[in-house]
Structures are given as structure tokens and as C-alpha cells.
Structure 1
Amino acid sequence: MQSNKLGWFLLAPTLVVLFFFGVVPFLYVVWLAFHQWNPFAVDPTIIYNGAENFRRLVFDQAFLSSLGVTLAFTFFAVTTQVILGYVLAQAFMRDFPGKAIFRTIHTLPLIMAPIIVGSIWKLMTTPSIGIIPHYLDQWFGYDLNIGQSAIAAFTITVIMDVWHWTPLVTLTLIAALVSLPPDPFEQAQIDGANRRQIFWHITLPMISPAILATVFIRLMDALRTVDEVLMLTGGGPGSATRYLGVHIFREVFPRTNYGYGSAVSVIVLYLTIVVCWLLFVGLIAPRNKKA
């Protein structure tokens, strides 16, 4: 009993901070989602309007378009990061010349703030001074202009996100691969299993918890990405890269529509929970039934 009291006493400061900086703002956003409020209007009164903000979401073409491009962005970015992260993790498990230097360079994007990443890619993709448009035009004769091409802008945002967050996936999977026991692999090799069979029947099932945890983290981040895209494309051209985070930003700050922006935020949170739950049920539940 004494140890339990000591544990709660030591956890109390963290719980208090989480409550005031996590629970309270969340409850405030949920409450505000059922109101209409423009603090910079002539009459800044908060008006209760029930579920009007959520009803508006169903018919808001800008929100529906943002939802579609966000889901596409999340799918391509997270899938690429997991595949590329696993390949790099396997590469780092082996010794090769310059491994330490390459591993350090590979990890550098993780220490950069998202807005810095967006600024770097903004400079690299600007047609007049960017290194990427220069070499694409010199080598392939392709004129890259993310301010005019919706496909190019979408593709560059995906590549930027992959460049920024693949090191996180790589480090996570390296830790998972290092912790694997050698006995199952030795027994499989003795039985004559090839690399593909070892991967599908031994490696993948054993590191699947680490992969799922990484996918959950990246899904939550990708669905609410704002800073990088806002700095790189501003959500354009048109609505090609107006992801949900950018949509919320535009509703809350330029338009000062705090009630509607809060409703969109609540829906994004709900969407994130549903996507993660579906992924968990689809991948974990069948395996538990077999067990």
C-alpha cells in the first residue's frame, strides 16, 4: 500500500500537467465545436448552435476534398516509410564502409522542426533556384513547378514527408530486429527455408508489434500534418495539398471561424481513432483467433 501511494505521488506532477495541457484543451475544443464564435467580429459573443457545425461538414466540399487528399497522402507516405524503413534497417544490420557516417546523415532529418523541413524543400523545389527542378530539367527535360502542377505538388509533399520521417521508422525497426532471438532463424536455415520464407514466416510475425506501433504513430502524424505543407505549398495549387491540418488552419486563423474549425478538429481526431482501430482489428484480431 505504501509503495502504491509513493507511485501515485511521483506520478502526480505529470498527471496534473497532462490534465491541464491535454484534457482541458480537448474538452474546450469539443465544447467550442457546438458553438459559433468569431472573437474578432463586431459582436464576439459565443453562440450555441448545436450540431450545425457538424452538419455543415457533410456538405462542405472543401472539407470533403481535404479529407480525400489527406487519406491519399497518409496512405502513400506511411506505406513508403514502412517499406523503405525496413529496407534501411536491414542494411544497417550489416557492416559496410562509411556505415556510421551514413547512419548519422540518415538520422539528421529527425532533429529538424517541421517548419524548417518545409523551408528547405521550398528552396529545393523553387523553379528559379531549386536544385531539384534544375536536375530534373537537365537530366530528363522535365519542368517541375509545384505551384502549377497539382500532381507534382502532391508527390513532392509525400516525398518530403518520407524524407523527414523514414529515419524514425528505420530506428524503430532496427531496435526490433536487434532484439530478435537467433534460434528460430538458425532452425529455419537448417530446415532449408529460403530468405523469402524466413521473412514471411519468422521475421515479419516477430517484428509486427514494432511495425504496428510505428504505423500508428505515423498515421496520427500524417493525418494532422500542417507545418511542412503550409510552408512548402500553402495548400495549393488549388486544393491539391490542402490537407485536413491546413484546412483547419485556414478556417481558424485567416477566417477566424473558431467553432467550425473546432468541429473539424474533433472529426479529425475521431477519424484518426477509427483508422487506427480498423488497422488494429484487421491485423491483430485474426492472429489472436489463430492463437
Structure 2
Amino acid sequence: MRSNKVGWLLLAPTILILGVFGILPFLYVLYVSFHQWNPFGASPDMMFRGARNFRRLVFDGEFLNSIRYTLEFALFAVFSEVVLGYFLAQLFMREFPGKGFFRTIHTLPLIVAPIVVGSVWRLMTTPSIGIIPYYLNNWFGYDMNIGRDPNAAFLLTVVMDVWHWTPLVTLTLLAALVSLPKEPFEQAEIDGASRWQIFWHITLPMIRPAILATVFIRMMDALRTVDEVWMLTGGGPGAATRYVGLHIWKVVFPKTDYGYGSAISIIVLYLTLVMCWALYVGLVAPRARKGEA
């Protein structure tokens, strides 16, 4: 009984911080989502609107398009980061000249602020001064201009996100690979298993928890990306890269529609939780039931 009290006492600061900076803001946003509120308008008071803000979402074409663009961005970016991160982790498992230097260079993007990443990529892709359009035009004859090409703008946001966050995936999977026991792999090689069989039947099942944790973290981050894309494309051209985080920002700040922006935030949080739950049910739960059987 005494140990339980000590445990709760040690957890109290964390619970307090979580409540102040996590639960209370969420409850406040939920409260605002049921109101019409423009604190800078002629009538700055909140007006209760019930579920009208949520009904408005169903017919908001800009919001629905931003959800579609965000899902496409998140799927392309996270899948590319996991695949590339795994191969880089396997590379770092081997010894080669300059391994330490390459690992240091590889992890440098993680220490750069997202807004700085977006600014640097904006400079590199500006048609008049950017190094990327210059070499694409000289080598391949391709005139890249993300200000007028929606496909190029979307692809570049994915590439930027992959460049920025692949090192995180690499470090996570590298830690998982280093912790694997050697006996199963040695036994498989003795039995004549191919590399693909070893990967599919031994490596992948053993590092699946690390992969799933990485996918959850990166998926949640990708669904709420704002600053990088805002600095690179501003959500354009048109609305090609107006992901849901940018859409919320435009609704809340330029339009000062705090009630509707809060409703969008609640729905996006709900969709994120549903996606994580679906990933868990689809990938983890079936294998757990199979193991119990």
C-alpha cells in the first residue's frame, strides 16, 4: 500500500503537466468547437451553435480536399521513410570506411528546426536561384517550377519530409536490428535459407514492434505537418499542398474563425486515432490472436 502511494507521488508531476498542457487545452478546444467565435470581430462574444460547425465540415470541399491531400502525403512519405530507413539501418550494421562520419552527416537533419528546413528547401527550389531547378534544367531539360506545377510541389513536399525524418526511422530500426540475437540467423544460414526468407520469416517479425512504433509516430507527425510545407509552398499552387494543418491555420488566423477551426482540429484528432487503431488491429491484433492459438 505504501509503495502505491510512493508511485503515485512520483507520477504526480507528470500527471499535473499532462493535465495542464494536454487535457485542459483539449477540453477548451472541444468547448470552442461548439461555438461561433471571432474575438477580433464586431461581436467578440462566443455564440453557441451546437453541432453546426461539425455539420459544416461535411459540405466543406476545401476541408475534404485537404484531408485527401494529407492522407496521400502521409502515406507516400511514411512508406518511403520506412523502406529507405531500413536499408540505411542495414548499411550501418556493416563496417565500411567513413562509417562514423557518414552516420553523423546522416543524422544532422534531425537537429534542424522544421521551419528552417522549409526555408532552405524554398531557396533550393526557387527557379531563378535554386540549385535543384538549375541542374534539372541542365541535365534533363526539365523546367521545374513548384509555383505552377501541382505534381512537382506535392512530390517536393514528400521528398523534403523524407530527407528530414528518414534519419529518425534509421536510428529506430538500427537500434532494433542491433538488439536482435544472432542464433536464429546462424541457424537459418546453416539450413540453407535465402536472404529473402531470412528477412521475411526472422528479421521482419522480430523488428515488427519497432516498425509499428515508428510508423505510428511518423504518421501522426505527417498528418499535422504545417511549418515545413508552409515555408516551401504556402499550400499552393492552388490547394495542391494545402494539407489539413495548413487548412486549420488558414481558417483560424487569416479568417479568425476559431469555432470552426476548433471543430476541424477535433475531427483531425479523431481521424488520427482511428488510423492508428486500424493499423494496430490490422497488423498487431491478428498476430496476437494467432500466437494465443
TM range (shorter): over 0.9
* TM-fit CA distance, 1:98: 0.9
Deviations 1:138-158 (A, max 9, x none): 111111110110000000000
* TM-fit CA distance, 1:135: 0.7
Distance in 1 separating the partners of 2:42 and 2:236: 31
The match for 2:161 is: 161
Alignment of 1:210-229 (within 5 A): 210-229=210-229
The match for 2:205 is: 205
Q: CA RMSD in A?
A: 0.7
* TM-fit CA distance, 1:29: 0.6
Alignment of 1:252-271 (within 5 A): 252-271=252-271
Distance in 2 separating the partners of 1:140 and 1:187: 49
Distance in 1 separating the partners of 2:259 and 2:232: 27
Q: Which amino acid aligns with 1:243?
A: Y
* TM-fit CA distance, 1:12: 1.2
Deviations 1:46-71 (A, max 9, x none): 00101101100000000011011000
Alignment of 1:1-291 (within 5 A): 1-291=1-291
Deviations 1:10-45 (A, max 9, x none): 221121111011000001011111110000001101
Distance in 1 separating the partners of 2:134 and 2:105: 23
Q: Which amino acid aligns with 1:118?
A: G
* TM-fit CA distance, 1:5: 1.6
Distance in 1 separating the partners of 2:110 and 2:2: 42
Q: Which amino acid aligns with 1:223?
A: L
Distance in 2 separating the partners of 1:9 and 1:280: 32
* TM-fit CA distance, 1:288: 1.5
* TM-fit CA distance, 1:9: 1.4
Q: Which amino acid aligns with 2:268?
A: V
Aligned residues: 291
Tell me the SS of whatever aligns to 1:181: coil
TM-score, length of structure 2 as denominator length = 0.98
* TM-fit CA distance, 1:274: 0.5
* TM-fit CA distance, 1:289: 2.2
* TM-fit CA distance, 1:96: 0.7
Deviations 1:79-101 (A, max 9, x none): 00000000000000001111111
Distance in 2 separating the partners of 1:289 and 1:26: 34
Q: Which amino acid aligns with 2:139?
A: W
Tell me the SS of whatever aligns to 1:186: helix
Distance in 1 separating the partners of 2:180 and 2:261: 45
Distance in 1 separating the partners of 2:262 and 2:212: 29
* TM-fit CA distance, 1:290: 1.6
* TM-fit CA distance, 1:277: 0.6
Distance in 1 separating the partners of 2:186 and 2:39: 66
Q: Which amino acid aligns with 2:48?
A: Y
Segment of structure 1 superposing worse, 195-204 or 97-106? 97-106
